[in-house]
Structure 1
Amino acid sequence: MVKTIFIALLLVFGILAVPSARAAGYCAAHPNEDALHALPMALVPAAQAAFGLHGLSTAQTRRMTVTRCMGGKVYACFIGANLPCGKANKARNLPAATDWCENNPNADFVPAYISGHDSVYAWRCRFGLPVHVGPPAVLDQRGFFKCYWKNLG
């Protein structure tokens, strides 16, 4: 009986460890892969811990989390509401913001649905032209928003 349980545990943990090792191995071979990938099943607990998603189901966590490789390590981003997991938009000229500011010449802000949630800048209108305000968002070495990505190892 003990031997059966031991073998069952080895199989379960062995099977769970393979995808995690595979993800780590993939990132070791592709150290700066910017393409976003689905969260491997074996990394669900690590992602839930990193993002505080303890009440979220495994399926929801996998559906709402993407991974990529940076520096040979696996990084994850929880998509959430309006969180840009893709590369940041560093453009200093936004045609949609220009249009918005023509109609709202002194608006205190340009809504994110106009400027894009992926813009590194906060925008406002001054005399009918869009201007960015404040410092740009902090990006990681690959051009993604640093605050949304967690190192899973």
Structure 2
Amino acid sequence: MAIKIDDATIADAERLTRIVRTSSAYDGHYRVMVADLGIDAEYLAAHLVRVARDEAGRPLGFYTVIVPGRGGAGEGELDYMFVDDAAQGRGVGRLLIDDARAQARARGLRRVHVVSHPPSEGFYLSVGARRVGTVPAEGAITWSRPHLVLEQ
């Protein structure tokens, strides 16, 4: 399957929001973390949002990088990283991370921080992220989360 990664458009917003809110990775007590999240025109205008698409142009997954995020000058933060449940296991996540690194480098970022969903930490470690700490529980998120970095 040929996968193309390009910038998200407003036409993608509803589908990307659905990918987030229905992700099986957030079943059970984790659902509170994504229940109210969404991608809208304001978010698209403010941040880097890239989408992996199948041959027909349908979104398979996406990521977003925000600047500033955690860290200092020359650093960003991976805010969203989701692959549709139906596209899991096809290498879409790795392609998205490769693209995120390339896009970060092109924007002069030397590091991208990731506050990971706990079950996803292994994925980030497998693509070269390094754990640098833990983000404590806060508000409705009653569990701590791994803090990792992707170096460029």
Same fold (TM over 0.5): no
Task: Identify the structure with the greater strand proportion.
Answer: 2
Give the structure-2-normalised TM-score: 0.29
